[in-house]
Amino acid sequence: MRFTGYPSGLVEGSGLTQKYGCEDRDDIFNPAGYCNPVVDILADRILEVETYDELAAHVRAIDRIMRHDYFIVPVWTLQENWVAYFDMFEYPDNLPEFGLGHLDYWWFNAEKAEALRADGALR
């Protein structure tokens, strides 16, 4: 058994073949060595979809296949996000779903950083 993560974006795309494709089954990004030819077909078709509904249908189909294959056992799941950071960043009050850990939505506050330096927390 191997403990690892499978990070992904909010919308799946070309990374599916790298993480779960037969061609990349021995790649570092596919640590489980997962290979299912039907998932390969669906993952390739995801790159050609034109609507969100098509994307959702393909991703749901892949999800059902992978659940049936039982190759991942979710562990260490929480209902909340734990994030540790120096208090020199800010983020919007209304974050997108699952957006707390994505630094794309955060910004640097120079005044807070200077206060941390003055307190000796930062060099």
Domain ranges of the chain: 15-69, 78-123
pLDDT given at position 101: 64
Q: Taking each helix axis from N to C terminus, what angle separates 37-46 and 52-69, rounded to the nearest 10 degrees?
A: 160
Q: Does 61 score more than 90 pLDDT?
A: yes
Kindly report, residue by residue over 66-80, the tens digit of the pLDDT.
989 877 766 677 777
Query: What pLDDT was estimated at residue 70?
Result: 78
Tokens of 103: 């630094």
Beta-ladder partners of 108: 89
Question: How many percent of the chain have pLDDT more than 90?
Answer: 33
The pTM score is 0.58
Under the banding of pLDDT at 50, 70 and 90, the label for residue 87 is confident
Bridge partner list, 89? 108
pLDDT at 92: 85
d(Cα 105, Cα 91) in Å, to the nearest integer? 6
9-52 per-position pLDDT tens digit: 667 777 888 888 899 888 888 888 889 999 999 999 999 999 99
- For the stretch 14-25, pLDDT in tens is 788 888 889 988
